[in-house]
Amino acid sequence: MRWLLTIVLIAVPVVAFAKPKVAVAPLDGDSGNKIADIVVDAADDHAKVTRPEKVSRAMDTLSISELTSKSLKKLRTDLEVDVVIHGSVEKEGSKHKLTLQIAGKGKHKATVEMSYKTTRTCRRSCARRSKK
């Protein structure tokens, strides 16, 4: 009987505090997935992450060319994740603008915007934000 109590006391907290599953889609305007890799590294501290390469293959398999609420739901279901992070990288003069949308279940979406000059400053800024 003690072993059952021990298993319950160990297993229940582990299941209750499991990391969420997140998929990072390839970002529009991101050549070579450099910025997407930075987003993956930042998200990896808090969640189990599916990389952009796997997400891209799943999008091809599902014939998804544009991420709408309906296609995001299909993608989340296919990849068995809780959240899909997608967005774009745009050049604005000497700076770049990173816009990320975080889409989970329901109609709620969060948007994060950030400006940076180099990928090094982007990496530092993402690392700082993920620590908070």
Query: Would the pLDDT of 21 be above 70?
Result: yes
Percent of the chain predicted with pLDDT > 90: 34
Please indicate whether residue 131 or residue 30 has the higher confidence score (pLDDT).
Answer: 30
What tokens appear for 59 in the block? 């999008």
Q: H-helix or E-strand containing 56?
A: helix 52-61
Phi, psi of 50 (to 5 degrees): -100, 125
| pLDDT of res. 46 | 82
- Whether residue 6 lies inside any domain: the answer is no
Quote the number of domains for the chain.
1
CB count within 10 Å of CB 29 equals 14
- Whether residue 70 lies inside any domain: the answer is yes
The model's pTM? 0.79
Please indicate whether residue 1 or residue 132 has the higher confidence score (pLDDT).
Answer: 132
d(Cα 51, Cα 41) in Å, to the nearest integer?
Answer: 10
Give the mean model confidence (pLDDT) for residues 93-118.
Answer: 84
- Whether residue 14 lies inside any domain: the answer is no
Closest listed residue to residue 130, CA positions, set 45, 5, 62 = 45
- Whether residue 83 lies inside any domain: the answer is yes
- The residues facing 99 across adjacent strands are 88, 113
**Mean pLDDT of the residues in the chain:** 81
Give the mean model confidence (pLDDT) for residues 110-120.
Answer: 84
CA 77 to chain centre: 15
- Whether residue 77 lies inside any domain: the answer is yes
- Whether residue 122 lies inside any domain: the answer is yes
d(Cα 44, Cα 28) in Å, to the nearest integer?
Answer: 21
Give the mean model confidence (pLDDT) for residues 16-38.
Answer: 85
- Whether residue 13 lies inside any domain: the answer is no
Residue pair 81/72 in contact (Cβ under 8 Å)? The answer is no
Give the mean model confidence (pLDDT) for residues 113-123.
Answer: 82
Closest listed residue to residue 89, CA positions, set 106, 112, 64 = 112
Give the mean model confidence (pLDDT) for residues 55-79.
Answer: 92
| pLDDT of res. 14 | 47
- Whether residue 42 lies inside any domain: the answer is yes
CATH of the domain at 45: 3.40.50.10610
Its domain, for residue 85, covers 19-131
